[in-house]
A and B are shown apart, each in its own frame.
Chain A
Amino acid sequence: KAGVTQTPRYLIKTRGQQVTLSCSPISGHRSVSWYQQTPGQGLQFLFEYFSETQRNKGNFPGRFSGRQFSNSRSEMNVSTLELGDSALYLCASSLESSGRTGELFFGEGSRLTVL
């Protein structure tokens, strides 16, 4: 069974641009969560989508947004990029809402560099 797929794996942007990252969950999983991983802050929760609805949201500015499609695929968007947005963005899927089981299946991440 295919795992969680994130695209693109690497990308470089400049300040002020916007970026869209994509995540395809494991087949049958309805929940997709997004995390930002940086050396200084560790793993920080961005948001979770379940059946196309945002379930939870972390403490990130409105420049960070996401959505989930009817096939459970999810995208996150960051607008007006800042240098501090450089990070590894991880997507995780789970059968149910992530908090119910805690069993998340992570993709390899999209590494964003903002110049």
Chain B
Amino acid sequence: GDSVTQMEGPVTLSEEAFLTINCTYTATGYPSLFWYVQYPGEGLQLLLKATKADDKGSNKGFEATYRKETTSFHLEKGSVQVSDSAVYFCALTRGNDMRFGAGTRLTVKP
């Protein structure tokens, strides 16, 4: 069945460091891909999405490119801030239900 695999955390970075969180997927056809973020004590919220191959989703300085050849959707940010500390979830859908990865906890230290 469809699934998403994320790099295991936790990830700890210093402020202004470069961030990459790896995400790969298994799905037949052409799923839509998403990154959601969960701040402490809150529900998940959509960060960015891409609906077809080679699309780049971006929001709040975060970017991810839908790579069908490597079945990947890695999340990147050039310079993280303390306020980016959260749990990040990669997800996919093929028009049915949403499948989420296990989540990667990011802690950014000043």
B-binding residues in A (CB < 8 A): 4, 33, 35, 41-43, 45, 48, 56, 58, 90, 92, 98-100, 102-109
A-binding residues in B (CB < 8 A): 32, 34, 36, 41-46, 49, 89, 91, 93-103
User: A99 and B42: CB pair below 8 A?
Assistant: no
Q: How far is the CB of A42 from chain B (nearest CB, A)?
A: 4
Contacts A98-B93, A102-B93, A103-B49 given; indicate if A90 touches B99 (C-beta within 8 A): no
A4 to B49, CA, bound (A): 21
Sorted nearest first, the 9 A-B pairs with minimum C-beta distance are: A106-B43, A42-B102, A43-B100, A106-B44, A99-B95, A56-B97, A99-B93, A99-B96, A102-B93
User: B98 and A104: CB pair below 8 A?
Assistant: yes
User: B46 and A104: CB pair below 8 A?
Assistant: yes
User: A90 and B98: CB pair below 8 A?
Assistant: no
User: A102 and B49: CB pair below 8 A?
Assistant: yes
Q: Return chain B residues, CB-CB under 8 Å to A48.
A: 97
User: B97 and A102: CB pair below 8 A?
Assistant: no
User: A98 and B43: CB pair below 8 A?
Assistant: no
Contacts A33-B97, A99-B98 given; indicate if A90 touches B46 (C-beta within 8 A): no
- Not counting A42-B100, A109-B43, a sample of 17 additional A-B residue pairs whose C-beta atoms are within 8 angstroms of each other reads A4-B43, A43-B44, A43-B100, A43-B102, A45-B98, A45-B100, A56-B97, A98-B97, A99-B95, A99-B97, A100-B95, A102-B93, A104-B36, A104-B44, A104-B98, A105-B46, A107-B43
